Every structure is written in C-alpha cells, then in structure tokens.
Amino acid sequence: MSRPQVVIASRELFPFGGGGIGTYIAQTARVLAPLADVTMLTASWYRDKYAELSALGDPRVDYDGARVEFVDVPEPHEYGTFYSHMHLYSHRLVERLRALFPDGGPDLIEFPDYLGEGFVATQARRGGDPFFAGTTIAVRLHTSAEMCEVLNGYLDRDFERRISRDLERRTLRDADVLLHAGGDILASYRRFYGDDLAPGVLVRHPLDDDPTTEQATAPATNEDGPLRMIYLGRCERRKGVQDLFAALLAFTADWRLTVLGRDTDTAPLGRSMRRTLELQAAGDHRITFLDDIPRADVRATMAAHDLVVLPSRWECWPYVALEAMQAGVPVLAPRVGGFAELIQPSAAPGWLTPRPGAEALMAALGPFVAEPARVRSARDPHALRNHVAALTDPDAIRRGYASLLKPADTTQKQVVTTPADPVPLVTVVIPYYGLHAFLEEAVASVVAQTYPRVEVIVVNDGSFGPADVALAEVATRYPVRVISQANGGLSAARNFGITQARGRYVLPLDADNVLEPTFIARCVALLEAREDIHFVTSWNRFIDPDGVPYPAPNEGYRPIGNWSAIVHERNVAGDGTAVLRRRLFEQHHYLEDLTAFEDWALYRELHDAGRFGHVIPEMLWRYRIRPTSMLQAVGVPQEERLQAEVDALIREQEVTWVSTNG
C-alpha cells in the first residue's frame, strides 16, 4: 500500500529565509517523515542556494527524505490580469501541484495563512476541481498579514495589499481545516475575522532541532548584580518592544536589557523602530543592542540571562519562547494568543501579565527588578525542558496529522461534478444585435455542453438588417427559441430573456462568446450543492475576432468573486457569463440605463444584499475582444464616467422616492 502524500507549501524555508514559518516548515517535514512522503513547495528564490548546499552535504538541507520543489516567483511584468503578486503566485503553486501529481492531488496540502498563499487552491477545491477531490486542504495559523498590519498600526490602502488581505480572509474561510497550536490562537482569529471560518484542529508545532545548534545549558545562577533580561524578536510595534522600553525606563533601580532583533519601519510615520528605541533610551547604559548573531549562538545567548521578556501585543506560537525554555530560561509575556498555553507557571517557571502594554509590564517586572533573586531562585531548567518536550512531542504531532489523512467529510468544501436528480433546467439567454458572424459558434458551444438539460433563448434586440437572416438559419439548425424586442440595449435584452426563461438557473451569454463543454455542468453542480452560493462563474480566455487566444500575461480575465468589498471600486466579481439562480431576478435586474458595466452593477447589488457567488479558477469560457464591441468602444474609454453612473444608479435604487405621507 502506497504511503500518504503530504505537501507543505510555504514561500519561507529554513535555512534560506523567513523567521518562524521557515523553521516550522523544515522541522514539520522531518517529523512527518515516518508517516508520509513529504514534499515541501517553496519559492524559486532559494533554488540555486538549495542546490549549492545539497551538493556540499550541508545538514541543514537534510529534511529526512522530504523532497524540495520550487514555484517560480512572479516578476511584476508577469502579473497581467492577476490582481496581485500573491494571486498569481497562488495560481502558479496550483499549476506546480498538477505537474508534480499528474494522477490527482496529494492527500494533504498545508498552506500558511500569511498572504493567502492557498487562495487559488481553496477556490478550485470549493469549485469542484476533480484534481482536489481526494485532498484535504489545511491552513496553518501563523499570524496573517492583516493581523500584522493592524498590530503594527498601519493598514496599507494600496490596492494590492487590500486584495492580499481579501485573499487571506477567503482562504481562512474556504480551507477544510485550520491548524492551530493551542492557547487562545483559534479564538483570537474568530474574534478578529468573525465566526465564518473553517473548523479548527489542534496540532502542535515541532521544535526546531537545527543540526548546527548545540543544546545550551543554563549557566550557574549568579545571585549578584541587577536583573539580566533579553528581548528577542524584530524591533517591531506588534512585538511590544516600545512598551517594554517605557516600562523599564520608569524604574530607577538597576537592571540590564539586551535587545536582539532586526529593525523594521513600524514606528509612527513609518520610521525606523530601532532608531526610535535608541532615542527613547537616550543612551541609557542599562540597554545593549546586539546586531545579528549566528543562529547556533542564540540559545547560549538566552541562557546567559535571567529572564526572556516577550511583550508582544499578540503572538501566535513563537519558537523563541520554546527555545528560551529549552535553554532553561523562564519567559515573561502577556496572556495573549499562544502564550496563554505556552507559559504555564504550574508546570514550569514563567510569568503571564494579564494584558499587553507598559502598565502591565511595569507591574510584573517591578518586583523582579527590585529583587532579582525572585527570578533566579525560581529558575528550573529541568522543569522548563520537560514542559517544552510535552508541548512539542513528535508522536503527538504525527497523530494529529494522521487524523487529517483519514477520509474527510468534504460535503461543505468539495462538490460533485454531476448535479442531483431531477436535473434542473438551465436557460441560456443570448442577446443579439448584429453579431451574425459569431452567433452560430456561441449557440453551438451551448448545444455541445456536457450538461443534459439546457434551453436556449436568443433575444433579437431590434436587429433587422439583411445579415440578420443568420437568426433564422441558426434556429433551423439548433434547438433555440428566438424572440424579438425593440432595440433597448444589452441590459434590456437580458432582462427580457430572463422573464421568458423556464429554467431554475439562467446563463446570460453574449453572442460573440464561447463556452467550453463543461462550463454549465461545473457551475450547476456547485449551485445544487451549496444554497449559500447564488451564482457561479469562472476565469475566461481572451480571443481575438478570429478566435485566436491572446498570449500571456494578459491571456484572460481572472476575477475572485463579489464577496470582496473591493467590488465597489473595481469589478473583481466576474463577467456577465455566469450561471445564476433565476429567483435572484425577482429582486434584482440588469440596470437598463447603463451602456456598459451592467454585470458589475448587478454583482455590486448582490454583494450589498449578502448574495455571493463563486469563481472557478479555470478558463471555462472564451471572451472575444472586438475593437468595435461596446466594452472596447465605450466601456474602457469612459470607465471613470461609467463607474460614477453605476454608483448613482445603485444609490437611486436604494432610496424610496415616492411620498409616504398620507
């Protein structure tokens, strides 16, 4: 019997880059080696260095049999129609998975939450992609980029950063499970993001056993001299280092603080935090700043101090706390996140402040600064190491992962590709005005669908020229119904066609576009399985008037869905080619005053009504770009004007204008 296949994806990997996440990935791969065949999927930044270290036999890249594969990191000129660097990277990651596992996805894929690396994979899995049919998608909670920005006091309004925050949020919702290490981590995420997240599963972090790091032993206790404290971590607002300085500098008694960590620009107005701390310290001899030291020396450096102080405003499950305790040094930290369980005074020496901030730190550190013996006498390296061993037990971690490798209940995340009986009727509404050259190809693509129950309505929007005899010719060759109206525009034609529809679902299709054979089946399967999804669309492929595909990187449109609030400023929801529940049109319709962007306006309305759709991240239909199309001739040149018209028309509909006075 073949062994389970596990993929751990992360752009960070020790020893090449990143902090705790990179370390976690490397050690998790080693711990899982007896359980499964492990593949680490990381960024191509490290490809050459990995080859170099492997050739040298460097033990740091010996992952106990786990293989390392790489995803090409996008350059800005390659973004094309992707919304952000991470949107494209997450797509490339899925394509790399398909290449590595040609017979179907692995049993388990684990993504970090940071930057939404697993967005396209979860979007595809939720959309019924057969590749992921047997795959459990897990997202490990490390601290999202959005949480970091909030805790660092600056929510960047840049479009790409906002999109990345949305990708993170959606990935946390659409994953099969969220992995957390304990404490208050999962509860914190639910307080931050709301309860609409994937279910949580507790699986601890293994402890880094970097082969170049020797086990440090606690030095002999020095009963003399001031309290020796060390802060380890980036000089960053969210790490609470400013709070620590404010607390300690209020004491007139003697003490010593060592600060070891890289600088960041998280001080007010984006200034250097290191420089801000130096100004705050004003040359105080009690504070020593250390530059980077070799990783092998970190635990010994900690062991030379009485106390590790980690004053973070929130923290997930930091390795530095585990490493400090393994080095025999007690930790003081606020009762937040993972600290709530990592530090257990009943099991091993350590102290929790009731909350973050300078005031709580002053209250906790004051007695220790006054009487350092309180800390030194409590120091118990044996108890600390036993506590760490219990928290990082490899067998317990393997049991946690083994439970994820069992057949999962996927009814909420993965859908079948065949809808339930009775098979619902889908009405395809094709507005027509002068597109005789393309109409038959559009209709033929509908008739060729793998989905068995489709009716086709062609709405002639007042087009009665000689070439429009194509309507009659198509009607004689294909099972379509042609209806006519006075010329009213695309929105009016769609609305009229929908009023004549008999199907449970409707699909507006422009007369010059082309469906791939499985488009309707894939969309209906998802709609039948999930009542909370109100429409389904997909990525599309751009073609020219002759049907020739556009080249990369602008080869198609890749929306993410109308669940994103960014839909109010840009159409990230999708094109009009979508399968929608017909009952939506009892309350909504295409705005007939618009000459373009009518689909965007509808998706905005649906967003505001809490009716969200899903985007299948595959190119399941073709969008024909014609120089004379309404979008190219009017929509693109007049985009700003049209967006303002959409804003006004939606607002107009929200107001009751008729007098309500008796």
Mind listing the pLDDT tens digit for each residue in 473-506? 999 999 999 999 999 999 999 999 999 999 999 9
Do 462 and 589 lie in one domain? The reply is yes
Do 164 and 294 lie in one domain? The reply is no
Do 239 and 372 lie in one domain? The reply is yes
Question: Torsion angle of alpha carbons 376, 378, 383, 388, nearest 10°?
Answer: -70
* Mean pLDDT (whole number) for 617-638: 76
User: What pLDDT is stored for residue 501 in this prediction?
Assistant: 97
Do 254 and 380 lie in one domain? The reply is yes
User: In Å, what is the CA distance from 291 to each residue of 213, 249, 601?
Assistant: 19, 22, 54
Instruction: Give the total number of structural domains in the chain.
Output: 3
User: What pLDDT is stored for residue 272 in this prediction?
Assistant: 97
The whole-angstrom separation of Cα 564 and Cα 490 is: 26
Do 537 and 630 lie in one domain? The reply is yes
Do 257 and 131 lie in one domain? The reply is no
* Span 383-409, pLDDT tens digits: 999 999 999 999 999 999 999 997 644
User: In Å, what is the CA distance from 527 to each residue of 175, 463, 498, 582?
Assistant: 19, 34, 18, 12
How sure is the predictor about 626, in pLDDT bands with cuts at 50, 70 and 90? confident
* Span 185-195, pLDDT tens digits: 999 999 999 99
User: What pLDDT is stored for residue 418 in this prediction?
Assistant: 52
Q: Return the SS3 of 65.
A: coil
| CB distance 5 to 103 below 8 Å | no
Residues constituting the chain: 662
Q: What is the mean pLDDT of the chain?
A: 92
In a domain, 207, yes or no: no
Percent of the chain whose pLDDT exceeds 70: 93
How sure is the predictor about 593, in pLDDT bands with cuts at 50, 70 and 90? confident
User: What pLDDT is stored for residue 597 in this prediction?
Assistant: 87
* Mean pLDDT (whole number) for 131-141: 97
How sure is the predictor about 414, in pLDDT bands with cuts at 50, 70 and 90? low
In a domain, 37, yes or no: yes
- Final residue in a domain of this structure, among 202, 235, 258: 202
Do 296 and 339 lie in one domain? The reply is yes
* Span 144-161, pLDDT tens digits: 999 999 999 999 999 999
Do 188 and 236 lie in one domain? The reply is no
How sure is the predictor about 211, in pLDDT bands with cuts at 50, 70 and 90? very low
User: What pLDDT is stored for residue 662 in this prediction?
Assistant: 62
Do 372 and 453 lie in one domain? The reply is no
In a domain, 209, yes or no: no
User: What pLDDT is stored for residue 200 in this prediction?
Assistant: 97
In a domain, 419, yes or no: no
In a domain, 130, yes or no: yes
DSSP category for residue 638: T
Question: Which domain, by its residues, includes 373?
Answer: 227-391
| CB distance 606 to 588 below 8 Å | yes
The whole-angstrom separation of Cα 357 and Cα 336 is: 12
Q: Which residue has the higher pLDDT, 212 or 135?
A: 135
- Final residue in a domain of this structure, among 187, 202, 217: 202
Q: Give the CATH number for residue 441.
A: 3.90.550.10
Do 75 and 126 lie in one domain? The reply is yes
* Mean pLDDT (whole number) for 359-382: 96
Percent of the chain whose pLDDT exceeds 90: 86
In a domain, 24, yes or no: yes
Q: Which amino acid is at 534?
A: H
User: What pLDDT is stored for residue 628 in this prediction?
Assistant: 66
In a domain, 658, yes or no: no
User: What pLDDT is stored for residue 196 in this prediction?
Assistant: 93
Residue 642 has pLDDT above 80, yes or no: no
Residue 428 has pLDDT above 80, yes or no: yes
In a domain, 557, yes or no: yes
How sure is the predictor about 633, in pLDDT bands with cuts at 50, 70 and 90? low
Transcribe 325-388 into DSSP letters: HHTT--EEEES-TTHHHH--TTTSS-EEESSSSHHHHHHHHHHHHH-THHHHHH--HHHHHHHH
The whole-angstrom separation of Cα 302 and Cα 321 is: 10
User: What pLDDT is stored for residue 661 in this prediction?
Assistant: 76
Residue 254 has pLDDT above 90, yes or no: yes
List the structure tokens of 387.
């506590």
E strand or H helix at 27, and its extent? helix 20-32
User: What pLDDT is stored for residue 412 in this prediction?
Assistant: 44
Burial of 314 (0-12, 13-18, 19+ CB in 10 A): buried
β-pairing verdict for 505-508 and 426-432: parallel
User: What pLDDT is stored for residue 612 in this prediction?
Assistant: 97
Do 170 and 49 lie in one domain? The reply is yes
* Mean pLDDT (whole number) for 209-230: 64
- Final residue in a domain of this structure, among 333, 365, 391: 391
């507006």: which residue's tokens?
508
Do 191 and 59 lie in one domain? The reply is yes
Q: Give the CATH number for residue 241.
A: 3.40.50.2000
Lowest mean pLDDT among 446-450, 466-470, 504-508: 466-470
User: What pLDDT is stored for residue 292 in this prediction?
Assistant: 80
User: What pLDDT is stored for residue 1 in this prediction?
Assistant: 62
Using alpha carbons only, how large is the chain's radius of gyration in Å?
30
pTM, two decimal places: 0.91
User: What pLDDT is stored for residue 620 in this prediction?
Assistant: 98
